[in-house]
Structure 1
Amino acid sequence: ALGPDSYPTRALYGRYLAWAFAQVVAGAPEHVVIRVHRVRAVALAEDEDAGATVRGAGAQTVVLEDGTRLSGLSAVVLAQGHVPVRPGEQEAELGRFADRHGLFYVAPANPADVDLSPIAPGQDVLLRGLGLNFFDYMSLLTQGRGGRFERSGRRLVYRPSGREPRLHAGSRRGIPY
């Protein structure tokens, strides 16, 4: 159970998502058919000959890694997780700014796949956004560098190792999401 000094781990979040999906499946109306395909989708295309199916939108086909084709779909939900993306103009400009000023810039990525070793102890680090990746980076740059939490009465107190950078965080909306 989560307490006042704990947070939901990714593993716990995964169990929550599995539970929520099971609730959706169990509560689906009788006319809804749910088929689970535990394989990666590799292509998505418009069905050329299916005609309009929903509010003028054409049907779609998803091709799975095992060759299965799911055709005539009126809607497709893309839940992609962390995927490599080409940087947009904003990310490219941030990268150029960092280069001009001798800063270390990390484009949006899965924090577990990023080499953070160039970040020196005490170095100022700006974390953009307060979503799940923020918490991953915060953990990697603090506890991942030897910092630890100790109980002091009813509170947890962070004890730095001295190898952490100085973290500055912000969000466009000013709140975690």
Structure 2
Amino acid sequence: MKSTTRRTLAAVVTGVAAAVGVAATPTTAAGAIPVPVPLDGAETALGMELPEVAGELPVPTAGAPEGPRYVEGRLLPERTLPQLPVHGGLPGADLRQPLPRVLGDDFDHAAVDVPAAGLRTLAPGLSLDAPLTAPNPGAFGLPTAKLPQVGLLTPMVRTVPVADLGVGPGL
């Protein structure tokens, strides 16, 4: 193979790789990866129209925890073990089932669209306080004893899933 042919082939491969990289970037930035389900071979083998199925898988990302807060009068800071936020999503699906004009001439399919929904979570955290007070000037600068305090910061899950059910023309 000539060197000019090799250079041309290398340029084409580099261009295709760059195009694929650019095309993949918005998907990962969106937080969900599309997952198509190929049923074309089954349609050909069975000789009938099958539903179109596609899905979305979320990409979870960990956030930065909010650090401990120092409060006057306490020896240990609040949120001794901070809560870790994790952002992700619920998986999505898109299903289109062909209908043989059951509902009239304008309705050829029934569809269910459940897009990937955002999900925000916080792991449980812990807040402790020592069994001693801050230095007390009335006791020559020595701390006094008190009951220890322990608090559990509750976990949180927040999401708003949606779905769309409809019928329409075409598949």
Give TM-score scaled by structure 1 length: 0.20
Give TM-score, length-normalised by structure 2: 0.21
> When you count strand as a share of all residues, which structure comes out higher?
2
